[in-house]
Homo-oligomer: A and B are copies of this chain.
Amino acid sequence: MANEKIPYKIYLSEEELPKQWYNVRADMKKKPAPMINPGTGKPVTKADLTPVFCDELVDQELNETDAYIDIPQEIQDFYKMYRPAPLVRAYCLEKALGTPAKIYYKFEGNNTSGSHKLNSAIAQAYYAKKQGLKGVTTETGAGQWGTALSMACSYFGLDCHVYMVKVSYEQKPFRREVMRTYGASITPSPSTTTEVGRKILAEFPDTNGSLGCAISEAVEVAVSNEGYRYVLGSVLSQVLLHQSVIGLEAKTAMDKYGIKPDIIIGCAGGGSNLGGLIAPFMGEKLRGEADYRFIAVEPASCPSLTRGTYAYDFCDTGKVCPMQKMYTLGSGFMPSPNHAGGLRYHGMSAVLSELYDQGLMEAVSYEQTAVFEAAQRFARVEGILPAPESSHAIRCAIDEALKCKETGEEKTILFGLTGTGYFDMYAYAAYNDGKMTDYIPTDEEIAASIAKLPKIG
């Protein structure tokens, strides 16, 4: 092994686990643009949001000033059940690539939900319980978020209603069964259980569903049922706050061994993992204490940062949620059905969008066959079968490491391995059979979708 002092896997002790989340907005000189109430056209108030979200989560969503927010003890206790997530030195991948680069990954897949989503699910479930609610509603696409939320609700004895994008409900019956095992009820979306679902079904009876549509249904059920609120697994600033536990743990582990990353890479759909992974490092950059390269990796089939526009847009198809200024492909953008896994959301977290717009972060996109080639390569040398989402970051990390091989630079690369691919074997089968294809939307498709953006801001 190249460096005897650094173990394959760094596990923090329970005492070293973060006791506070880090709120990167507090260190941003120019803050993300405020959410807009689509009814009034004005910035949202706490009163606008509390019918939809839990009270304390609304406070967190609107909090742009406190850099650190205490993690309640109950959440810390739950974190101990599946954290620390290890920081892994990819010795075997480095050797296979023949690169002088040092590659680390923060592995968030060692829990039954199979991804980092549990970090925010348990926080949101906790605040719902604390508020005395009966339950929560949500949507899920690939199923990672729904699984995480089911686990969290089961732990706190909360009702959990999940609207699952119809195509996933049918193609991923096992994801559905995991959620049911944790006591959640699952409805394929669009459904006839909501007004917005019935409307969409009337217009598009053969639709496969979309994340935007499932969000609209989940919100409608939350606001029209006493004792329920809506929770969301990505995009929101509160989610990035909870996910900062990823970056805080990674930074503590690296600091402990005197490791400083040059490049930090994360896959980006709504931005929950990337925002959490980079948070404390970005804080240092914002405060002028250190410099890092940050790279957001998105799918070529749904390229909001690399090919979208920075403007106010709806977060959901039904247009019931607040509008947000973000890099977006338009809320009507439908990612190609050939795209596997998550990362198929039309927009990007307002925080990450603003950081990207300020030039503090880069973005690249990859086609899915290139992503699965990296996934298979990684699995074979590092053992872990990665989720398709995470494999975008792997692809980029491999490419950066290969650049180092050309230049001879010994850069230190950190990437987020957000989860495992056990429930994505249809996609792996397509790749194994040589039947996986790529799809890149045309400029005309994207322009047509963006042309329908609301005229605000």
Contact = CB atoms under 8 A, between A and B. Distances in A.
Question: How many chain copies does the complex carry?
Answer: 2
A109 to B, nearest CB: 9
A428 interface: yes
Contact of A181 (B9, B181, B428): B428
A398 B111 CA distance: 22
A13 B8 contact: no
Contacts of A173: 425, 429
Nearest to A429: B177
A383 interface: yes
A347 to B, nearest CB: 31
A384 interface: yes
A: interface residue count bin: 35 or more
Contact of A380 (B182, B379, B385, B425): B182
B112 A385 contact: yes
**Chain B CB within 10 Å, residue with most, of A151, A177, A423:** A177
26 contacts: A1-B77, A7-B13, A8-B80, A11-B11, A81-B92, A81-B383, A82-B383, A92-B155, A111-B383, A112-B385, A112-B420, A114-B422, A151-B383, A154-B379, A155-B381, A173-B429, A177-B428, A177-B432, A178-B422, A180-B432, A181-B379, A181-B380, A181-B385, A181-B428, A181-B432, A422-B422
Given A111-B383, A155-B383, 10 more contacts: A92-B155, A112-B384, A155-B380, A174-B425, A178-B428, A180-B429, A180-B432, A181-B376, A181-B379, A182-B379
Interface of A: 1, 7-9, 11, 13-14, 77, 80-82, 92, 110-112, 114, 151, 154-155, 173-174, 177-178, 180-183, 376, 379-385, 420, 422-423, 425, 428-429, 431-432
